[in-house]
Amino acid sequence: MILICFPWAAGSSAIYASWHTHPALKAVFSSIVCVDYPGRASRSDETPIEHIAPLVQSILNQYKCFDQSHEEPIVLFGHSFGAIVAFEVARHLEERGMQPVAVFVSASVPPSKTPLVETAVSKLRTDEICDYFASKGNPVSDVLRSTPEFLELFIRNVRVDYTCLETYPTSDSKLKAPLVVVGGGLDPGVSTEDLKKSMCMCLRTALQTRERQRMNMNVPTPPWWDKY
């Protein structure tokens, strides 16, 4: 079984790098595929894509695990923006008759929400984008803000990914695959109500509601996980 991970807005496969060697994950999955969106990391020579449909198609075309000839079962995991991408990838796979074993989404509003994002982040100035992320509990690091070339790349990727969200044609489609919805009680960006609505996007859904201090994922945890 293969675990396929989708990064959040402006993220890359690097955020899941430590998951490749973690014993708990290796015991379950034969391999872990960490997706890169066009224009970054392993796909840095490609043109960034600002709309969800062509983005999903590029992902399906890029990774062999999505080939119809591929027989090994797959599990999808996406965080925030990556959750929306994972949902759309799952929907397209099901249309091909390739139902995932399960789809895990964390820190995401439901794909049916209109609008998907309340702020046109792609239109903001650099300082406004930094303020926006800080208001959501994810401040841009001082190291990144003090390195102009890295900050410029980060802001470009934010604008690209948020354009995808801002132009997303909200969907009421329901997945056949089991959907596991994970949310953080300390996350200011996604409400409990949004998480509950995400449950309606699938015929079989589980909502993780454990309190933060009792939650033990037993996997390497990135900085944002302290809200979970």
Per-residue pLDDT of the chain (228 residues; tens, 9 = 90+): 999 999 999 999 999 999 999 899 999 999 999 999 999 999 999 999 999 999 999 999 999 999 988 889 999 999 999 999 999 999 999 999 999 999 999 989 999 988 899 899 999 999 999 999 999 888 999 999 999 999 999 999 999 999 999 999 988 888 999 998 888 777 777 888 888 888 777 766 555 544 443 333 344 444 444 444
Residue 135 forms part of a structural domain = no
Residue 194 forms part of a structural domain = yes
According to the model, what pLDDT value does residue 205 have?
56
Residue 108 forms part of a structural domain = yes
- State the residue range of the domain holding 197: 2-112+171-223
How many domains would you assign to the chain? 1
User: Which CATH number do you get for residue 180?
Assistant: 3.40.50.1820
According to the model, what pLDDT value does residue 225 have?
46
Residue 125 forms part of a structural domain = no
Residue 104 forms part of a structural domain = yes
Residue 128 forms part of a structural domain = no
According to the model, what pLDDT value does residue 105 have?
93
CB 186 within 8 A of CB 215: no
CB 48 within 8 A of CB 156: yes
Residue 58 forms part of a structural domain = yes
Q: Give the DSSP letter string of 162-218.
A: HHHHHT-------BSS-EEEE--TT-TTS-HHHHHHHGGGBSSEEEE---GGG----
Measured CA angle at 79 (ends 17, 3), to 5 deg: 55
Distance CA 118, CA 130 (A): 16
Residue 154 forms part of a structural domain = no
CB 46 within 8 A of CB 61: no
Distance CA 104, CA 89 (A): 12
